[in-house]
Amino acid sequence: MATFNLLLLPGDGIGPEVMNEVKRVAFWFNETGVVSFNIDEDLVGGCAYDEYGEPITDAAMQRATAADAVMLGAVGGPKWDGVPYDKRPEAGLLRLRRDLGLFANLRPAICYPALADSSSLKREVVEGLDIMIVRELTGGAYFGEPKEVVTLEDGQQRAVDTQVYTSSEIERIARVAFDLARKRRNLVHSAEKRNVMRTGVLWNEVVTRVHQDSYSDVELTHILADNCAMQLVRWPKQFDVIVTDNLFGDMLSDEAAMLTGSLGMLPSASLGEAQASGRKRAMYEPVHGSAPDIAGKGIANPIAMLASFAMALRYSFDLAEEADMLERAITSVLDQGLRTGDIMQEGMSRVGTDEMGKAIVAALEAQAG
């Protein structure tokens, strides 16, 4: 039986609430005897700062490096608004991404048929939607240097973030996008701002070259990122794979999340280069944050977190069948009319986080016979 080491970093706010449902599902898989997850847990974000004065410790980083996959809940919240910038909860997440080399962030936005009326857009605009946003995750304005605030001679303050990309960073994310497109509808949109940014020009040139050299069978369209944002709400079904930089990808993926009905539905996978062992470092997390407004109430939607676990089954553990099962279980509870508050519709049954998780396990159980 295959054994995998899973590190859970539940984090802050609703993070631990939705991570409980991952434990429930992982324990269920352990009981089936098909696979065995060794589950380890550690702190990240505000809770780690409270305990250790750091948003993630070196020891937790070592465990994350050694794990077969990391599951992250969410970090942050108003409680830590006043902590020093480099110790803020989000810095823990950014260190994980950077130090594990997780450059490729896959953010699928799928509109489940049962939720086509939960979106703020019309049913016909979102029904059947299946987009994959490929966000570059370890470069751009998030990590470029200098990144600082300086006080000028006249007493003003000047803040600098640096948008920087090398051609190799662009090339490797472009390859991820083209490879994914080949397994989907063979269409890539590359979004940048070549009209105002030097990084946009380079992005455009490198993506064009990679396309010509290795992927001319895939249809490539270049699109300005602001137009892409508009087109996503105008007619999202024109897209298959969207490849874009770190900052544009952050915004476009929140926007895409709402096409699916709720931020509580959108999973993500963050993948690194293949190691000598053949294994890729990987972290899986929902796109949403710690949702301070609903934390502690037991009402958060665990589907984004559980769909992230399905991505872990697929991408890190090569358990495609189990991933399909979990995704079918999610579809099935939605078809049964179960809804957390964020996706609530008239005539449906409102459930809390753990009821939703239990129903998903029951739907797994039903498939296992």
Please check whether residue 74 is in contact with residue 288, taking contact to mean a CB–CB distance below 8 angstroms.
Answer: yes
In the list ligand NAD, ligand IPM, Mn ion, none, the entry touching 102 (Cβ below 5 to 8 angstroms by class) is: none
Kindly tell me which of 90 and 179 has the beta carbon lying closer to ligand IPM: 90
Q: Taking CB under 5 A as the rule, does residue 245 contact Mn ion?
A: no
* Residue 322, Cβ density class (10 Å: 0-12 exposed, 13-18 middle, ≥19 buried): buried
- The single residue among 42, 136, 192, 250 that binds Mn ion, judged by CB under 5 A, is 250
Whether 254 is catalytic is: yes
Q: Least distance to ligand IPM from the beta carbon of 107, Å? A: 8
226 part of the active site: yes
Give the DSSP letter string of 40-85.
Answer: EE---THHHHHHHSSSS-HHHHHHHHHSSEEEEEE---GGGTTS-G
Q: Is 286 annotated as contributing to ligand binding? A: no
Q: Binding partner of residue 133 among ligand IPM, Mn ion, ligand NAD, none, CB under 5 to 8 Å per kind?
A: none
Shorter beta-carbon distance to Mn ion: residue 250 or 285: 250
The answer to whether the annotation marks 363 as part of a ligand binding site is: no
Closest to ligand IPM by CB, 13 vs 261, is 13
Please state, as a whole number, how many other Cβ atoms lie within 10 Å of the Cβ of residue 124: 9
How would you label 180-190 residue by residue, b for 16+ Cβ within 10 Å and e otherwise?
A: bbeeeeeebbb
Nearest distance, CB of residue 228 and ligand IPM, angstroms:
17
The verdict on whether residue 92 carries a ligand-binding annotation is no
The CB-of-249 to ligand IPM minimum distance in angstroms stands at 8
Go through the chain and tell me how many residues it has.
369
Which H or E run contains 334?
A: helix 320-335
> Which residue lies nearer to ligand NAD by CB, 242 or 294?
294
Q: Please tell me the distance from the alpha carbon of residue 158 to that of residue 267, in angstroms, as a whole number.
A: 36
- Say which of 68, 240, 250, 342 is annotated catalytic: 250
Kindly state the tokens that stand for 339.
């809804």
Establish if 67 lies at the interface with ligand IPM (CB under 6 A): no
CA 37 to CA 29: how far, in whole Å? 8
Which is the catalytic residue, given 50, 99, 130, 254? 254
Please tell me whether 267 is known to bind a ligand. Answer: no
| Alpha-carbon distances, residue 37 vs 26, 161, 274, 314, 322 (angstroms) | 7, 41, 21, 14, 13
Give 105 or 190: the residue with its C-beta nearer to ligand NAD: 105
* 90 near ligand IPM, rule: CB under 6 A: yes
Q: Is 283 in the site for ligand IPM (CB under 6 A)?
A: no
What tokens appear for 122 in the block? 């019309």
> What residue is closest to Mn ion based on CB?
250
CA separation for the pair 4, 230 (Å, rounded)? 42
253: annotated binding-site residue? Answer: no
Residue 250 interacting with ligand IPM (CB under 6 A)? yes
Q: Give the residue numbers annotated as catalytic, written as ranges.
A: 142, 193, 226, 250, 254
Interface residues toward ligand IPM, by CB under 6 A: 76, 90, 93-94, 250, 287, 289
- Binding-site annotation: residue ranges for NAD(+): 77-90, 289-301
